[in-house]
Amino acid sequence: MSTVPLPKNEDERQASLASYNILDTLAEEDFDSITLLASEICQTPVALITLIDGQRQWFKSAIGTSLRETPREEAFCTYTILGNEMMVVSDARTDVRFADNPVVKGDPNIVFYAGVPLVNNEGYPLGSLCVLDTEVKELTSTQVNALKALSRQVLAQLELRRKMQVLEQANESLLESNVFIQKFASMAAHDIKNPLSSILLTSQALQRRLQKNEDEKSLQLINMSINAAKQLLHMVDDMLVYSKSPAALLAGQHNVNLNELLTKIVRLINVPESVKVQLPLVEHTIRTSGVALEQIFLNLLTNAVRYNHKPQGQIRILFREEEQRYNFKVIDNGLGIEPQYLTRIFEEKFTLGNTDRYNQQGTGIGLSTVKSLVEKLEGSIHAESVYGEGTTFVFSIKK
């Protein structure tokens, strides 16, 4: 036999076939009913619904054979999908295309073949509805019309299946979006608490000072309060935009000066004088979702400050760029985490029960949200720790 002939746009045809996600699926009654009718109407012992991928002819439904697939070079349907019209071979033994075919020369000794190509709405032939016999045969016009009508039913079932899959995917995406919005809302309440506390404390200090007299320090406190409020409003606006569509985290990417972003976050969380934050020694501009990265670092740095009771707290932020990824480390010398909890800390609502420097306990929201955001950026995160000595959060995101 000669080399297997290929339809035009073979790569696109195979991609179209793959979009149905039907290859190697289990038998289904809707398809089996069609092949049974085809066999009965055409009075042939074998009827098949075939789909042809790169190397094989696979049977979605088969009457009269236990085979589930054959090599593509042995498939009559390889020729059927070259056109849009029904192909009939009355005697394969005398046809130069098939005379040397193993299924003609040997078991199952195919002689007669008739197949209708399954051409979808995009114009790609996916396979065929075919009938076979071991004897020379001719179909009547009624049988030909019936076989063509049944082929249209096969296509209808295939399209219905694909539409159902699209609907299921859309439903899953909607559910994911709803869950993500809920997490984002919880995260917003969690993260807004810190800058609001800073604004409140600053305003109270300002109030007491203004009760005495106005001076430059009072003006500085006013400016701090205003700046914190502006940053808070900007952050809330960003969160509202991205909470409407999780996919926007990937679509809304722009150039971000990493050190500028980190400096803004350090100011926002009002790091105590006893805690020193070391930023990357070299400034870097990266392209990513600024609002997502801001939320990730806001949570990690806030935790590093809150759960550090040592006289001299230290936080280091490291950055390394690879060909496909951005890599980050947030290292602190705080309380540390016991080994059995290093993975559980990313579970929603899980807390270690520790009291922070402000005599408060965590909500179990922050780190689970961080993990969700990192994964949305096609990255991963894990924690390393020596209990009592400190913790390192290591995460990477796709460039």
Note the CATH number of domain 247-399.
Answer: 3.30.565.10
Residue 327, Cα to own-chain centre: how many angstroms? 21
Using alpha carbons only, how large is the chain's radius of gyration in Å? Answer: 33
- For residue 105, the model assigns a pLDDT of 92
Compute CA distances 119 → 100, 151, 158, 209, 306, whole Å.
Answer: 28, 9, 11, 81, 64
- For residue 117, the model assigns a pLDDT of 97
Q: Distance (Å, rounded) from C-alpha 330 to C-alpha 296?
A: 11
The beta-carbon contacts of 57-61 under 8 Å, at least 24 apart in sequence, are 57/127, 58/23, 58/24, 60/22, 60/25, 60/27, 60/28, 60/31, 60/127, 61/27, 61/28, 61/31, 61/32, 61/34, 61/35
Written as one letter, the residue type at 301 is: L
| Cβ proximity of 380 and 393 under 8 Å | no
| Cβ proximity of 185 and 246 under 8 Å | no
The pLDDT tens digits along the chain (399 residues) read 457 889 989 999 999 999 999 999 999 999 999 999 999 999 999 999 999 998 999 999 999 999 999 999 999 999 999 989 999 999 999 999 999 999 999 989 999 999 999 999 999 999 999 999 999 999 999 999 999 999 999 999 999 988 888 888 777 766 666 666 666 665 665 566 566 666 666 666 666 676 666 666 666 666 666 666 666 656 666 655 555 555 555 656 789 999 999 998 888 777 888 999 999 999 999 999 888 898 899 899 999 999 998 999 999 999 999 999 999 999 999 999 999 999 999 988 788 888 777 777 776 677 888 998 899 899 999 999 999 999 999 999 998
| Cβ proximity of 202 and 221 under 8 Å | yes
- For residue 235, the model assigns a pLDDT of 62
Looking at the chain, the domain(s) classified CATH 3.30.450.40 span: 10-170
- For residue 57, the model assigns a pLDDT of 95
Tokens linked to 101: 């075919």
- For residue 237, the model assigns a pLDDT of 60
Q: Distance (Å, rounded) from C-alpha 162 to C-alpha 168?
A: 10
The owner of tokens 């054979």 is 65
- For residue 111, the model assigns a pLDDT of 97
- For residue 1, the model assigns a pLDDT of 44
Phi–psi pair at 121, nearest 5 degrees: -65, -20
Residue 339, Cα to own-chain centre: how many angstroms? 30
Phi–psi pair at 339, nearest 5 degrees: -55, -40
Q: Which residues pair with 71 in a beta bridge?
A: 56
- The CATH number of 10-170, from 3.40.50.10490, 3.30.479.30, 3.30.450.40, 3.90.1420.10, is 3.30.450.40
DSSP-derived 3-state class of residue 165 = helix
DSSP-derived 3-state class of residue 101 = coil
Q: Distance (Å, rounded) from C-alpha 32 to C-alpha 102?
A: 26
Residue-wise burial string across 217-250, b where 16 or more C-beta atoms lie within 10 A, e elsewhere: ebeebbebbeebbebbeebeebbeebbeebebbe
Closest CA to 279 of 265, 296, 293: 265
Looking at the chain, the domain(s) classified CATH 3.30.565.10 span: 247-399
Phi–psi pair at 173, nearest 5 degrees: -65, -40
Q: Distance (Å, rounded) from C-alpha 112 to C-alpha 98?
A: 11
Q: Distance (Å, rounded) from C-alpha 363 to C-alpha 117?
A: 60
Q: Distance (Å, rounded) from C-alpha 381 to C-alpha 294?
A: 15
- For residue 73, the model assigns a pLDDT of 92
Answering whether pTM is above 0.85, one says no
Tell me 345's DSSP state.
Answer: G
- For residue 357, the model assigns a pLDDT of 79
Which strands sit side by side in the sheet containing 313-321, from one edge to the other?
Answer: 275-278, 313-321, 325-332, 390-398, 380-386
